[in-house]
Amino acid sequence: MEYRMQDVLSQCEDKMNKSVNTLSASFQGLRTGRATAAIFDKIKVDYYGQETPLNQVASISIPEARMVVIQPWDKGLLGPIEKAIQKSELGLNPNNDGKLLRINFPPLTEDRRKDLVKSSKATAEQSRVAIRNIRRDAMEDLKKLQKSGAISEDEQKDGESRIQKLTDSFITKVNSLATDKEKEIMEI
């Protein structure tokens, strides 16, 4: 009987972990004033008719804090990579010298920083809501187990307490990620 409650708890923890990992990945793609290769993760390039992630057709390096150098393995991809970056929502304009692309990251304006902080807070709140929804679903699962006689009322209360502790710890992780991202964005 304990096994079913463990299933509910482990599924709850797995889902909450995925929610935090999704938030972390989302934050990596959020542009700050500092150059990072992670912001190009969502960019896809037309590689012989196939939409291919940029990092699979070129090397991405960061020689300076505010510069990214992209060197395609096939020189014929310079144009398509340049177009893909310009079409993206990153607001970057690569310099093409015929061999590689150099992208300078201009310092963010104060207004842009505030917009990015607002966006990161909204994304963090979505993660908190997702975690609370996962908690709600797990609590309902425990109630169903108790009603079916699979677990006792005491086991249900114990499970609910453990789910609440899990929820609190994951909300703390989300808050920590959000605070770190906000500091990174506001850095000059």
Whether residue 179 sits in one domain with residue 134: yes
pLDDT given for residue 188 in this prediction: 59
- CA quadruple 184, 115, 173, 18: dihedral positive or negative? negative
Please report, as a single letter, which amino acid is at residue 52.
T
Residue-wise pLDDT for 16-72, tens only, equals 999 999 998 888 777 666 777 777 888 888 888 888 888 888 888 888 877 889 898
110-147 burial: b if 16+ Cβ within 10 Å, else e: eeebeebbeebeebbeebbebbeebbeebbebbeebbe
Give the Cα separation of 188 and 175 in Å (integer): 22
Structure tokens at 109: 């304006």
Whether residue 168 sits in one domain with residue 122: yes
Residue-wise pLDDT for 88-120, tens only, equals 877 778 888 888 889 887 777 888 888 888 989
Whether residue 57 sits in one domain with residue 21: no
Give the Cα separation of 183 and 113 in Å (integer): 10
For 11, the 3-state DSSP assignment is helix
Q: Give the residue among 69, 37, 73 at the shortest CA–CA distance from 56.
A: 73
Whether residue 113 sits in one domain with residue 27: yes
The pairing of beta strand 101-104 with beta strand 95-96: antiparallel
pLDDT given for residue 77 in this prediction: 85
User: pTM of the full predicted structure?
Assistant: 0.71
Whether residue 132 sits in one domain with residue 96: no
Residue-wise pLDDT for 121-153, tens only, equals 999 999 999 999 999 999 999 999 999 888 889
Whether residue 182 sits in one domain with residue 124: yes
Domain with residue 100: its CATH number is: 3.30.1360.40
pLDDT given for residue 1 in this prediction: 43
Q: What is the domain extent for residue 139?
A: 1-31+109-186
37 located within any domain: no
